[in-house]
Amino acid sequence: MNKYVFMFGEIEGSKALLGGKGFGLSEMTKLGIPVPPGFTITTEACNQFFKEGKEFLNKLYPEVDEKLKELEEKTGKNFGDEKNPLLVSVRSGAAISMPGMMDTVLNLGLNDSTVKGLAEKTNNERFAYDSYRRFVQMFGNVVLGIEHAKFENIIDEIKEKKGVKQDVELDTEDLKELVKRFKELVKNEKNIDFPNEPKEQLRLAIEAVFNSWNNDRAITYRKINKIPDDIGTAVNVQSMVFGNMGFDSGTGVAFTRNPSTGEKKVYGEYLLNAQGEDVVAGIRTPKEINQLKDDIPEAYNKLMEVCKKLELHFKDMQDIEFTIEHKKLFLLQTRTAKRTAQAAVKVAVDMVKEGLIDKETAIMRIKPEYIERLLHKRIDPNAKLEVIAKGLPASPGAATGKVVFDAEKAEELANKGEKVILVRRETSPEDIQGMAAAQGVLTARGGMTSHAAVVARGMGKCCVAGCEDIKVNEDENYFEVKGKRIEEGEIISLNGNTGEVILGEVPLLEPEMGGDFSTILQWADEIRKLGVRTNADTPHDAETARKFGAEGIGLCRTEHMFFKEERIPIMQKMILAKTKEERQKYLDQLMPMQKEDFKGLFKAMNGLPVIIRLLDPPLHEFLPKREELMVEIAVMKAKGEDEEKIKEKEKVLKRVEELYEFNPMLGHRGCRLGITFPEITEMQTKAIIEAACEVKKEGVKVMPEIMVPLVGNINELKDQKAVIIKTAEETLKEKNEKIEYKVGTMIEIPRAALTADELAEEADFFSFGTNDLTQTTLGYSRDDAGKFIKVYLEKGILKEDPFKTIDQNGVGKLVEMATRLGKQKNPQLEVGVCGEQGGEPKSVEFFHKAGLDYVSCSPYRVPVARLAAAQATIREKQNK
């Protein structure tokens, strides 16, 4: 027969068998750390209980009784002994800490006779009866299931009768009265006498812990956090110690290092002559841990010794609870300590230096989001916030500033030194300068990969997008949120990590990127197999990314270059051109401008590859908006304005109409532009190759890679490759230079993935555009899907936003298929990803497993990707 109950330290247990709390107590016992004796009923017992039902308890209880006897022997106290009663705490403890389950019953074993023993031992009758009434209340509530409020009502009645306000004003007699009244309540509610027999109390408590595993809150929590239902909870039964036995006793909590900064110094607080509850109640102010050195030096020294021992054993920072009973230190709990991002990095690096852990362990301890958090401003975690709305956490960081509703105003105020938050229904390329000037960006529409989100991430600027709660009135300069109206100039704050919109100013903490930060990333670089490049459209972005460790540019979106103020009129003329000749004329004007951009990028990436994507978006994105023109013309007509002017506008509208598309995302864009207007591809190729030649002369090592967007058919790639090679060779000849360049394709259309073997015969490289691939594979428009994705996440139809984390089952299948087909056909093929998912840790792990060569992401996510890539490598090794 299996054994289900073990004394602390009796066996080599595990968290899975003993639960987290039981494991900690058991380990400490084995280490010789003073722990009040007790035993653990294993998680297997819990599972067996649910398999066999109540019958199982008949097998379990004899074993419990046996261990109880052992416990009585160890403590020299006896259950139900009037003089020297054994009192115990009963606590649940699953392998994974889980709210919703039954928490704690303290002082179990008290009854009308043992309470006297407690009074005598503590020399404090009031305390004994207070403990007793608390035990009855706690037991009645958590074990017997009587509403908490019903007990509180009785307390209120008695306080009223006595005319006092605080519980502490009640005297011993009042507490005795309470015990009596509580027991009557139990009788009335459950039609049973309150169990006086300690063993019966214990059995009921054990059963209650088991049952709490399957209460609604616990089930929901497990569902949300993907915790299996069949791991069960353990039950810990531990003898009580008392920290309120005078001023040589006390209770406290401590961290083995500073959980905020990571400093190697025990950090914590305690109260003398107190029990754990008193610390929580907050009536007395606890003392800092170093004062304990003066108060009870024996206990302090022991505590320091214990902390050291625990770290040596667990190889990580611990979070402990302790009680001192007559100068003797007892540990009641130890667990891995929660910590800030900064502390996580410092502790990990320090512990490697101390020889406690190796580099891989250090890396696995850093959550990728920590890295992101350290790169940006944060809201002071102690600040009180008035959250008025919640959108998507589109770009991390935090910002505070005056609300403005247009980009120009944002620039104007920023130039005057004001901090502003740009609020828009959605952003468009025209808003880029305004976004750059603002502290943060808030939009009412658009998802994680909307224009606002992508651009803000690129800029490293905080952004909350798709905040559907707010209704923006851009004409009258206000926004409404749940009936509240926020006018231009009012101050709001944004939390880009959570998506929260906060009313008023909040205190911000500056980014912290110390030496430990770069140490961790260096270690990550040593381990990871996946390359990390960056998405960058400007030399400035490229430089930033290189500082963050980017190993090249995975995506330069050339269209962003056309949106610059002085270029857009030429671009518009190019688009409106009626003949190829006219179009060529404006392209010739754009060429030198593009060339300068490319030169900047090549210089910033000296010696590293630079992938430049040919023009991708539909041309009408560069023209005035159709509906705005329609309105303008109608109004001009209604007002009887000058016919000539109207005709001029109508001409523009006509061309805009011609270019108008119902679903521009699936329209005339990507390589479809280059195929219908080869002169655009020619101009861009010429600009790239000329730029390469010119910087090469300056001693820069250039590695240009030209990427064709939106390919779905091998013939598209063949067509564009022919144009590129012809132009490139002509240009090289003209410049009398030799430069190696690659020609490759985006894989961002399902058909490209399905025919990747064909494409691999022509392509030097593949780059997955996971935004577009997600849009088409799932049929979700990234700009419109916000509405239903929100509902889908709430209903559990989706587990994750597929634009944030790659959809492994769908899009992922295509990525794996294309990588496999491509590399089989062309072993030289370089395969990467340049969607924003390239910087998202779960996705990075997937891309590692799928066999990609590199990921590319916005500059501020490069460090995250470096860490995530290393973690993926380590995890794979561990799972082998």
Please give the backbone phi and psi of residue 614, each rounded to the nearest 5 degrees, phi first: -70, 165
Choose which of 630, 646, 700, 722 interacts with a second copy (CB under 8 A): 630
Terminal Cα distance for the chain, rounded: 34
Comparing CB distances to a second copy, the nearer of 376 and 721 is: 721
What does the DSSP assignment read for 544-556? HHHHTT--SEEEE
In this complex, which beta carbon is closest to a second copy, that of residue 48 or of residue 776? 776
3-state secondary structure 14-62: CHHHHHHHHHHHHHHHHCCCCCCCEEEECHHHHHHHHHHCCHHHHHHHH
Closer to a second copy by CB, 419 or 425: give it.
425
* Residue 777 CB, nearest approach to a second copy (Å): 5
Asked if 169 interacts with a second copy (CB under 8 A), we say no
Kindly provide the b/e burial profile for residues 675-707, where b requires at least 16 CB atoms within 10 angstroms of the residue's own CB.
Answer: bebbbbbbbbbbbbbbbbbbbbeeebebbbbbb
Which residue's CB is nearer to a second copy, number 168 or number 631? 631
Query: Which of residues 419 and 813 has its CB atom nearest to a second copy in the complex?
Result: 813
Nearest to 380 by CA among 340, 417, 435: 340
Of residues 510-539, those binding a second copy (CB under 8 A): none
What are the residues whose beta carbons fall under 8 Å from the beta carbon of 608, sequence distance 6 or more? 546, 550, 551, 552, 553, 703
Q: Give the contacts of 848 (CB within 8 A, at least 6 positions apart).
A: 529, 530, 869, 872, 873, 876
Could you say whether residue 813 binds a second copy (CB under 8 A)? yes
Q: How far is the CB of 674 from a second copy (least distance, A)?
A: 11
By CB under 8 A, residue 383 contacts a second copy: no
Kindly tell me which residue out of 87, 331, 688, 811 binds a second copy, with binding defined by CB under 8 A: 811
CA distance 42 to 540: 58
395 forms beta bridges with 463
Minimal distance, residue 793 CB to a second copy, in Å:
11
Task: Of 105, 20, 106, give the one whose Cα is nearest residue 319.
Answer: 20
Q: Is the CB of 703 or the CB of 749 nearer to a second copy?
A: 749
The window from 229-237, 392-400, 512-520, 668-676 that contacts a second copy (CB under 8 A) reads: 668-676
Contact call for residue 775 and a second copy (CB under 8 A)? yes
Residues 653, 648: Cα–Cα separation, whole Å: 9
Q: One of 46, 307, 376, 451 is an active-site residue; which one?
A: 451
* Amino acid, res. 32: G
Stretch that binds a second copy, among 692-700, 725-733, 787-795, 840-848 (CB under 8 A): 787-795
Binding-site member from 634, 651, 697, 701 for a second copy (CB under 8 A): 634
Residues of span 394-453 touching a second copy by CB under 8 A: none
Beta carbons of 398 and 521 less than 8 angstroms apart: no
Contact positions with a second copy (CB under 8 A) in 847-876: none
834 is a catalytic site residue = yes
Residue 710 binds a second copy, judged by CB under 8 A: yes
Q: Is 643 in the site for a second copy (CB under 8 A)?
A: no
785 binds a second copy (CB under 8 A): yes
Which of 537, 559, 764, 807 forms a contact with a second copy (CB under 8 A)? 807
Choose, by CB under 8 A, the member of 47, 534, 777, 837 that binds a second copy.
777
CA–CA separation, 133 vs 126, rounded Å?
Answer: 10
Identify the three-state secondary structure at position 487: strand
- Which of 216, 638, 642, 733 binds a second copy (CB under 8 A)? It is 638
CB-wise, 746 or 870, nearer to a second copy?
A: 746
Q: Which one, 618 or 863, has the nearer CB to a second copy?
A: 618
Contact between 708 and a second copy by CB under 8 A: the answer reads: no
Q: What Rg value do the Cα atoms of the chain yield, rounded?
A: 34
3-state secondary structure 227-263: CCCCCCEEEEEEECCCCCCCCCCEEEEEECCCCCCCC
- For residues 493 and 398, the answer to whether their CB atoms sit within 8 Å is yes
Element housing 98 (H / E): none
User: Which CB, 249 or 774, lies closer to a second copy?
Assistant: 774
Q: Across-strand partners of 85? A: 78
DSSP β-ladder status, 318-325 and 250-255: antiparallel
Closer of 705 and 719 to a second copy (Cβ):
719
Phi, psi of 599 (to 5 degrees): -60, -45
Quick one: 181 or 626, whose CB is closer to a second copy? 626
Q: How far is the CB of 339 from a second copy (least distance, A)?
A: 36
Judged by CB under 8 A, does residue 666 bind a second copy?
Answer: yes
- Minimum Å distance from CB 614 to a second copy? 15
Contact (CB, 8 A) for 23 and 61: no
Q: Is 668 in the site for a second copy (CB under 8 A)?
A: yes
Smallest gap, in angstroms, from Cβ of residue 779 to a second copy? 4
Residue 676 touches a second copy, criterion: CB under 8 A: yes
Q: Which is nearer to a second copy, 461 or 620 (CB)?
A: 620
8 A C-beta contact, residue 271 and residue 131: no
Burial track 644-654 (b if 16+ CB lie within 10 A, e otherwise)? eebeebeebbe
Please identify which residue in 157, 715, 761, 824 interacts with a second copy, judged by CB under 8 A.
715
Residue count, binding to a second copy (CB under 8 A):
58
Residue 716 in contact with a second copy, rule: CB under 8 A = yes
Residue 701: HSE in the Cβ half-sphere, 13 Å Cα cutoff? 5
Q: Does position 280 bind a second copy by CB under 8 A?
A: no
> CB burial class (10 A; 0-12, 13-18, 19+) of residue 122?
middle
Backbone angles phi, psi at 398, to 5 degrees: -145, 155
- Reference 238, options 333, 171, 303; nearest CA is 333
Our finding on whether 205 is near a second copy (CB under 8 A) is: no
CB 307 within 8 A of CB 318: yes
Which of the stretches 87-95, 358-366, 491-499, 705-713 binds a second copy when contact is defined by CB under 8 A?
705-713
The single residue among 662, 736, 878, 880 that binds a second copy, judged by CB under 8 A, is 662
Contact 563, 502 (CB under 8 A): no
Catalytic option among 46, 467, 671, 834: 834
103/474 with CB nearer a second copy: 474
Measured from the CB of residue 666, what is the shortest distance to a second copy in angstroms?
A: 4
665 contacts a second copy (rule: CB under 8 A): yes
Sole binder of a second copy in the list 738, 779, 827, 880 (CB under 8 A)? 779
726-765 footprint of a second copy as x/- string (CB under 8 A): ----------------------xxxx--xx----------
- List strand residue ranges (DSSP E) for 489-530, in order: 491-495, 500-503, 508-509
Chain centroid to CA 761:
40
Q: Which of 7, 11, 675, 722 binds a second copy (CB under 8 A)?
A: 675
Under rule CB under 8 A, residue 621 binds a second copy: no
Q: Which of 100, 429, 600, 810 binds a second copy (CB under 8 A)?
A: 810
Apex CA 640: angle with CA 634 and CA 641, to 5°? Answer: 85
Least CB distance from residue 665 to a second copy, whole Å? Answer: 4
Q: Does 578 bind a second copy (CB under 8 A)?
A: no
Residue span binding a second copy (CB under 8 A) among the ranges 356-364, 507-515, 679-687, 707-715: 707-715
Q: Which residues bind a second copy (CB under 8 A)?
A: 626-627, 630-631, 634-635, 637-639, 661-668, 670, 672, 675-676, 710, 712-713, 715-716, 719, 748-751, 754-755, 772, 775-781, 783-785, 787-788, 791-792, 795-798, 807, 809-811, 813-814
Please list the active-site residues. 451, 834
